[in-house]
């Protein structure tokens, strides 16, 4: 290599120090995130959306009904009497709407209420005038209606001293309120409407500093109460589920700088990825607005109007202001000024379609690494005075950064910001080009070889992540592994507790069990008091679902052991559990009435899993497992012990019942050997040897089973068989007559 002159060497050092300095400054800006950096990111992603506006499938079951200029011309100035809104609700019910959400606040009694008219001297006898609020509430009884609430800096609706919600938002880990949109109080509907509403949802938004609404809050904190959005509540009542579950960074095992942030919210079968502040990123497109109906058309239509029925039957309907004079307008990232209710319709369509924009929690770290890597690499190239190579590398980096960001956005729905990484390339190259000198071809080739050594793996392939699979549409029959987990000793543990302590205990139990199951890939079906039902292989297919379900037993048992250790420190008796697991053919999907749906599974194998959970009491063990769940083998360190052959209540066919235990559990060898010897004698109708063996089983010391309970179950049968022997073709099956 040609020896470099002192000037070239000094220039190279200056180029390197300049490039590294600029890179460091940009890295600090990325960590600090001042307003100009946030605005730059917003401009970039806004440009993506404007280049290819989002288009919603017209078959998505969402409809928009607007109080527009035509409606105001037909029915007078706003606000209307709620008698008119009652007529609208009746008409939507007649036309087949699944659920209706009003993006309208009703914090005060109707201005046409009988008492108000009497005070104005317009009526003599208020009792002869219909109450618009009561009429509206009566109409709401015909189908699920979600009413709007809004955050307020102070003050609450008359008669409603605190947030009172039909459905709550449970959360994993600590309360994430500090990261969420926060309000001091909640503006709620008047009492008659509040009492009849199937749900109450937040309509408050948080536009950016430039006045553009790019996200919609799915959950907010009002006086430390988690309040779901109007969209989330409409999803909930349409599916017929009881509440929402907010997953946080702490509850998900993620790292967020010591601050608990939102990650996702599950509402029935839908999981909504969220930003750290609990907002969902919008994909505005105007499709919902272009297909919107006027309230005037709906009220003027006949109940059997086929054209309107086609637009409304089987759909979730949003009703809101569409006239500009009503002042409920928002600016979108497309530069459009649209009715605020259309944003809720866009969000609802996105959720139902599973079409999300997400900024992953690892995106800031990746962008920081790219800034440092790109700036450092380009600085090293420019240090050798390779202006042409620097140009090629710089353009390649810019193409890769921008192209990768565009691809990730449109192909994967991932928001990866190329702004500062691209700026680092430009800011390093321009000073380097100004200060650098043209080097020889040999030096250029040497630098190119060195550059190749520094080239990282394919960034696009490394950051790409597969999207969450679509929810099973319309239901499906498939093999499922189902688990039931029930709390035991509840009465004994809680009999001296205050109600709030009981709630904390149940919530803590359900949280720990849920997290243990989710860690093994389970789908949480429902909570039934102090019990949990979950399953594997839906909506996302899990090839090893039976193995994961068996692993879930150990995960739940360990979670309960850890919880009992904490209870012991607090002087509280331990909780017990019963677990039933079975694998078999089931039907899974959205089930229920047209207006109330729940994503769940049904089938004989599901029923058997529930019966197996009940049998844990009979055999004195924490878990009972059906044979289908063992078809894929066992996790390392676990073994099975056959307890019995049982025909559970409601089934003629008998199945072997097993318990799955840790091979290292104390006394497990003696227990398994003694039980096997006792059952052999029992199945051979050798009652004397069987009785002696089961009595010996009582003396086996082990943590995995209450041997006295197990032995007593068999000894009772032996006593009965001594009095009335079984038939010659007896197969040893125990026929359970109770669900347990």
3-state per-residue secondary structure call for 201-248 = EECCCCCCCCCECCEEECEEEECCEEEEEHHHHHHHHHHCCCCEEEEE
Cα separation, 386 vs 441, whole angstroms: 9
**End position of a domain, from candidates 338, 353, 368:** 353
Is 29 a residue whose pLDDT tops 60?
A: yes
Which pairs with CB-CB distance under 8 Å and at least 24 residues apart come from 38-43? 38/209, 39/209, 39/210, 40/419, 40/420, 41/417, 41/419, 42/208, 42/210, 42/212, 42/214, 42/333
Q: What are the pLDDT digits (tens) for 638-654?
A: 999 999 999 877 677 88
User: What's the chain's length in residues?
Assistant: 740
| Per-residue confidence band for 450, with pLDDT thresholds at 50, 70 and 90 | very low
Q: Are strands 219-222 and 182-183 parallel, antiparallel or unpaired?
A: parallel
Cα separation, 365 vs 74, whole angstroms: 56
CA 404 to chain centroid, in Å, comes to 28
Is 318 a residue whose pLDDT tops 90?
A: yes
Mean pLDDT check: name the lowest of 121-135, 322-336, 661-675.
121-135
Cα separation, 666 vs 25, whole angstroms: 60
411 in helix, strand or coil?
helix
Is 115 a residue whose pLDDT tops 90?
A: no
pLDDT at 448 (0 to 100): 39
pLDDT at 711 (0 to 100): 93
pLDDT (mean) for 394-412: 82
Determine which helix (DSSP H) or strand (DSSP E) holds 421, and give its type and residue range. Answer: helix 419-435
pLDDT at 471 (0 to 100): 44
Same domain, 490 and 504: yes
Task: Give whole-number Cα distances, 459 to 364, 374, 390, 656, in Å.
Answer: 14, 12, 20, 52
Same domain, 407 and 303: no
Reading the block at residue 410, the tokens are 């449109």
Q: Is residue 470 part of a domain?
A: no
Same domain, 549 and 585: yes
pLDDT at 460 (0 to 100): 31
Q: What CATH code is carried by the domain that includes residue 568?
A: 3.30.70.1230
**Contact indicator for 59, 418 with CB cutoff of 8 Å:** no
Max avg pLDDT among 125-139, 624-638, 642-656: 624-638
- At 121, give phi and psi (nearest 5°): 75, 20
Task: Give whole-number Cα distances, 488 to 551, 579, 623, 661, in Å.
Answer: 21, 10, 12, 19
Cα separation, 631 vs 234, whole angstroms: 41
Cα separation, 204 vs 222, whole angstroms: 12
Same domain, 162 and 186: yes
Same domain, 530 and 678: no
Same domain, 45 and 109: no
Same domain, 638 and 552: yes
Helix H segments across 436-470? 441-454, 459-463
End-to-end Cα, the chain, rounded Å: 85
CA 322 to chain centroid, in Å, comes to 31
**Contact indicator for 619, 643 with CB cutoff of 8 Å:** yes
Q: Is residue 736 part of a domain?
A: yes
Q: Is residue 116 part of a domain?
A: yes
Cα separation, 269 vs 74, whole angstroms: 40
Q: Is residue 305 part of a domain?
A: yes
Cα separation, 244 vs 268, whole angstroms: 7
| Per-residue confidence band for 441, with pLDDT thresholds at 50, 70 and 90 | very low
Is 311 a residue whose pLDDT tops 90?
A: no
| Per-residue confidence band for 737, with pLDDT thresholds at 50, 70 and 90 | low
Is 555 a residue whose pLDDT tops 90?
A: yes
Q: Is residue 472 part of a domain?
A: no
pLDDT (mean) for 32-39: 81
CA 643 to chain centroid, in Å, comes to 38
Question: Helices then strands (H, E): number in the chain?
Answer: 24, 27
Mean pLDDT check: name the lowest of 85-89, 197-201, 370-374, 512-516.
370-374
Reading the block at residue 665, the tokens are 């559990």
Q: Is residue 3 part of a domain?
A: no
Tokens 């005038």 sit on residue: 129
Q: Which residues contact 3 (CB under 8 A, 6 or more apart)?
A: none
pLDDT at 591 (0 to 100): 76
pLDDT at 459 (0 to 100): 30
**Contact indicator for 165, 112 with CB cutoff of 8 Å:** no
Average pLDDT, the chain: 81
pLDDT at 160 (0 to 100): 41
pLDDT at 117 (0 to 100): 73
**End position of a domain, from candidates 661, 680, 712:** 661
Is 288 a residue whose pLDDT tops 90?
A: no
Mean pLDDT check: name the lowest of 84-88, 275-279, 285-289, 626-630.
285-289
Same domain, 604 and 517: yes
pLDDT at 556 (0 to 100): 93
- At 537, give phi and psi (nearest 5°): 85, 15
pTM beyond 0.85: the answer is no
Same domain, 521 and 629: yes
pLDDT at 616 (0 to 100): 92
Tell which wins on pLDDT, 90 or 456: 90
Beta strands in 309-408 (DSSP E): 316-321, 329-331, 337-339
| Per-residue confidence band for 317, with pLDDT thresholds at 50, 70 and 90 | very high
Mean pLDDT check: name the lowest of 66-75, 185-194, 251-260, 277-286.
251-260
Tell which wins on pLDDT, 597 or 347: 347
Cα separation, 376 vs 371, whole angstroms: 8
Residues of the chain with pLDDT > 90: what percent?
A: 32
Cα separation, 430 vs 442, whole angstroms: 23
Cα separation, 737 vs 729, whole angstroms: 21
Tell which wins on pLDDT, 187 or 390: 187
pLDDT at 275 (0 to 100): 86
Cα separation, 523 vs 537, whole angstroms: 8
Same domain, 191 and 325: yes
Is 156 a residue whose pLDDT tops 70?
A: no
Number of domains in the chain: 4
**Contact indicator for 54, 281 with CB cutoff of 8 Å:** no
Q: At what angle do helices 363-383 and 441-454 cross, to 10 degrees?
A: 160
Same domain, 694 and 637: no
Cα separation, 187 vs 104, whole angstroms: 11
| Per-residue confidence band for 111, with pLDDT thresholds at 50, 70 and 90 | confident
Q: Is residue 476 part of a domain?
A: no
Tokens 């392939």 sit on residue: 461
Q: Is residue 469 part of a domain?
A: no
Same domain, 522 and 434: no
Q: What are the pLDDT digits (tens) for 407-418?
A: 888 888 888 888
Is 255 a residue whose pLDDT tops 80?
A: no
- Domain coverage including residue 372: 9-52+359-463
Q: Please, what's the b/e burial string for 414-434 (b: 16 or more CB within 10 A of its CB; e: otherwise)?
A: bbbbbbbbbbbbebbbebbee
Is 335 a residue whose pLDDT tops 70?
A: yes
Mean pLDDT check: name the lowest of 101-110, 541-550, 643-652.
643-652
Q: Concatenated DSSP letters for 34-98?
A: -HHHHHHHHHHHHHHHHHS-----TTSSEEEEEE-HHHHHHH-SSSPPHHHHHHHHHHHHHTT-S
Is 405 a residue whose pLDDT tops 90?
A: no
């Amino acid at each position: 290599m040609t020896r470099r002159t002192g000037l070239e060497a000094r220039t190279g050092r200056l180029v390197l120090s300049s490039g590294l300095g600029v890179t460091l400054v940009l890295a600090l800006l990325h960590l600090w995130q001042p307003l100009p950096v946030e605005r730059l990111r917003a401009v970039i992603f806004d440009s993506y959306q404007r280049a290819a506006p989002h288009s919603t499938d017209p078959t998505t079951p969402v409809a928009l009904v607007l109080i527009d200029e035509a409606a105001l011309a037909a029915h007078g100035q706003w606000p209307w009497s709620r008698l008119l809104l009652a007529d609208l609700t009746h008409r939507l019910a007649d036309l087949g709407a699944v659920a209706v959400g009003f993006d309208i606040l009703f914090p005060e009694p109707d201005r046409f209420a009988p008492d108000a008219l009497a005070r104005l001297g317009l009526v003599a006898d208020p009792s002869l005038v219909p109450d618009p609020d009561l009429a509206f509430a009566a109409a709401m009884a015909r189908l699920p209606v979600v009413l709007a609430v809004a955050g307020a800096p102070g003050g609450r609706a008359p008669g409603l001293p605190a947030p009172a919600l039909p459905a709550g938002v449970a959360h994993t880990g600590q309360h994430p309120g500090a990261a969420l949109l926060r309000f001091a109080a909640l503006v709620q509907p008047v009492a008659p409407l509040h009492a009849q509403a199937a749900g109450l949802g937040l309509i408050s938004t948080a536009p950016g500093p430039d006045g553009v609404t790019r996200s919609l809050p799915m959950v907010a904190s009002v006086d430390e109460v988690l309040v779901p959005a109007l969209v989330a509540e409409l999803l909930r009542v349409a599916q017929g589920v009881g509440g929402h579950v907010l997953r946080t960074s702490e509850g998900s095992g993620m790292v967020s700088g010591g601050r608990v942030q939102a990650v996702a919210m599950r509402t029935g079968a839908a999981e909504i990825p969220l930003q750290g502040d609990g907002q969902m990123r919008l994909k505005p497109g105007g499709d919902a607005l272009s297909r919107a109906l006027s309230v005037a058309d709906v009220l003027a239509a006949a109940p059997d109007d086929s054209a309107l029925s086609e637009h409304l039957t089987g759909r979730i309907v949003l009703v809101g202001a569409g006239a500009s004079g009503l002042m409920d307008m928002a600016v979108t990232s497309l530069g459009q000024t649209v009715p605020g209710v259309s944003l809720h319709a866009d969000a609802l369509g996105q959720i139902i379609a599973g079409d999300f924009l997400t900024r992953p929690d690892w995106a800031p770290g990746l962008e920081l690494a790219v800034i440092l890597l790109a700036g450092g690499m380009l600085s090293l190239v420019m240090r050798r005075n390779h202006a042409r190579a620097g140009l090629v590398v710089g353009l390649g980096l810019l193409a890769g950064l921008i192209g990768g960001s565009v691809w990730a956005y449109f192909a994967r729905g991932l928001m990866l910001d190329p702004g500062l990484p691209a700026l680092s390339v430009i800011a390093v190259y321009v000073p380097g080009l100004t200060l650098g000198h043209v080097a020889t071809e040999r030096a250029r080739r040497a630098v190119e070889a060195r550059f190749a050594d520094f080239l990282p793996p394919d960034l696009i392939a490394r950051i790409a992540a597969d999207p969450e699979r679509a929810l099973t549409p319309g239901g499906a029959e498939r093999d499922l592994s189902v688990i039931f987990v029930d709390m035991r000793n509840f009465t004994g543990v809680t009999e001296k507790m205050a109600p709030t302590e009981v709630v904390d205990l149940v919530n803590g139990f359900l949280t720990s069990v849920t997290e243990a199951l989710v860690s093994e890939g389970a789908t949480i079906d429902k909570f039934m008091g102090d019990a949990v039902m979950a399953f594997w292989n839906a909506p996302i297919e899990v090839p090893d679902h039976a193995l994961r379900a068996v692993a879930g037993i150990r995960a739940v048992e360990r979670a309960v052991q850890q919880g009992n250790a904490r209870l012991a420190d607090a002087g509280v008796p331990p909780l017990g559990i019963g677990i039933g697991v079975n694998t078999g053919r089931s039907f899974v999907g959205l089930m229920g009435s047209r207006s109330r749906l729940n994503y769940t599974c049904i089938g004989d194998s599901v029923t058997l899993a529930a019966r197996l959970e009940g049998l844990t009491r009979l055999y004195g063990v924490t878990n009972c497992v059906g044979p289908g769940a063992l078809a894929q083998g066992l996790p390392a360190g676990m073994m099975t012990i056959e307890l019995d052959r049982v025909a559970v209540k409601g089934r003629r066919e008998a199945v072997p019942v097993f318990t799955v235990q840790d091979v290292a559990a104390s006394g497990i060898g003696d227990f398994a050997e003694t039980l096997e010897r006792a059952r052999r004698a029992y199945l051979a109708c050798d009652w004397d040897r069987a009785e002696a063996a089961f009595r010996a089983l009582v003396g086996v010391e082990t943590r995995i089973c209450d041997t006295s309970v197990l032995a007593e179950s068999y000894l009772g049968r032996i006593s009965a068989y001594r009095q009335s022997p079984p038939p010659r073709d007896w197969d040893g099956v125990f026929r359970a007559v109770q669900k347990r």
